[in-house]
Chain A
Amino acid sequence: MDKHTLWSLRLGFSTKEAKAVKKLGMNEFLNRSFDSKFDTKVPDLLASSPKSFAELKETRKTLQASNPDAKKELLKKEQQTSAEMKAWWIEKMTETEFPLREKMTCFWHNHYVSTYQKVKVNYWIYQHNQILRENAFGNFKILTKKIIQSNAMVRYLDNVDNKKGKLNENLSRELLELFTLGIGNYSEEDIKNGAKGLAGLGIGEDKATYRRIFEDNESFNYLGKNGVLKVDEMVDTIFEQTNIPYLLTRKILKWFIYDTPKEKLVRYYGDYFKKMNFEIKPLLTKIFTEEFPKNNAGSKIKSPLEYILQLKEELNIENTNGIAIANFIKQQGMDLFNQPNVKGWEGGNYWLTSQLYLQRNNIADSLCNGRNFNGKKNTEVNDERMNKKNNQSLNIKLNWNNEGNNKDIITELSNRSLYGVDTNNQKDFEQLLKYDFDPKTAGSEFAVMRLFNFIVKTPEYQLI
Chain B
Amino acid sequence: MDRRKFLTLTGTLTGGSLLLPDFLYSFGSQNNLIIGEQCVVFVQLNGGNDGLNTFIPFEDALYYNLRPTISLSKSEVLSASKGMAFHPSLTGFASMQQSGDLSVIQNVGYPEPVRSHFRSQEIWQTAPTNQEYLSNGWLGRYLDLQCKEHQPTAGINIDNIDNLSLKGEVPNSITVKDPNRFITKNKSENTVQLSDNPQLDFVRRVASSVIEGSDDIQKALAKSTASDVVYPNTGLAKNLEWISKLIKGNLNSKVYYTSLSGFDTHDNQLAIHKNKLTELNDAVYSFYEDLKKSQQLQNVTIVVFSEFGRRAKDNGKGTDHGTAAPMFIIGGNNHGKIIGNNPNLADLDKGDLKYEIDFRSVYASILKNKLNFDGSKIGIRNKALEGLF
CA distance A374 to B11 in the complex (A): 4
A422 to chain B, nearest CB (A): 7
Q: Is the CB of A363 within 8 A of B13?
A: yes
Q: Is the CB of A433 within 8 A of B161?
A: no
Q: Is the CB of B203 within 8 A of A362?
A: no
Contacts A437-B118, A446-B133: A259 and B199 contacting too (C-beta < 8 A)? yes
A13 to chain B, nearest CB (A): 19
- Chain A residue at minimal CB-CB distance from B47: A434
Interface residues on B, range: 35 or more
Q: Which of A328, A349, A357, A433 has a CB less than 8 Å from the CB of B11? A: A328
CB contacts under 8 Å to B, within A326-340, are 327-328, 331
CA distance A363 to B135 in the complex (A): 18
CA distance A357 to B214 in the complex (A): 14
A248 to chain B, nearest CB (A): 22
Q: Is the CB of A359 within 8 A of B200?
A: no
* Residue numbers in A under 8 Å from B167 (CB-CB): 450
Size of A's binding interface in residues, CB under 8 A: 56
Q: Is the CB of B195 within 8 A of A422?
A: yes
CB contacts under 8 Å to A, within B177-210, are 193, 195, 197-200, 202-204, 206-207, 209-210
Contacts A300-B199, A422-B195, A459-B200: A369 and B169 contacting too (C-beta < 8 A)? yes
Q: Is the CB of B161 within 8 A of A432?
A: yes
- Chain B, residues 124-159, CB within 8 Å of chain A (1/0): the string is 000000001111000000000000000000000000
Does A373 count as interface, using CB distance less than 8 angstroms? yes
* Residue numbers in A under 8 Å from B161 (CB-CB): 428, 431-432, 454
CA distance A363 to B14 in the complex (A): 9
CB contacts under 8 Å to B, within A70-111, are none
Q: Is the CB of B11 within 8 A of A373?
A: yes
- Chain A residue at minimal CB-CB distance from B115: A436
Q: Is the CB of A441 within 8 A of B210?
A: no
- Chain A residue at minimal CB-CB distance from B167: A450
B6 to chain A, nearest CB (A): 11
CA distance A441 to B122 in the complex (A): 13
* Residue numbers in A under 8 Å from B119 (CB-CB): 436, 438, 441
CA distance A353 to B14 in the complex (A): 13
- Chain B, residues 93-130, CB within 8 Å of chain A (1/0): the string is 00000000000000000000000111100100000000
CA distance A328 to B13 in the complex (A): 10
Q: Is the CB of A450 within 8 A of B12?
A: no
| Chain B residues in the interface with A (C-beta under 8 A) | 7-8, 10-15, 18, 116-119, 122, 132-135, 160-162, 164, 167, 169-171, 193, 195, 197-200, 202-204, 206-207, 209-212
What are 12 sample pairs from A and B whose C-beta atoms fall under 8 A apart? A298-B199, A299-B197, A299-B199, A331-B10, A359-B15, A369-B135, A375-B12, A437-B116, A437-B118, A459-B204, A460-B203, A462-B203
- CB-based closest 3 A-B pairs: A443-B133, A362-B13, A459-B203
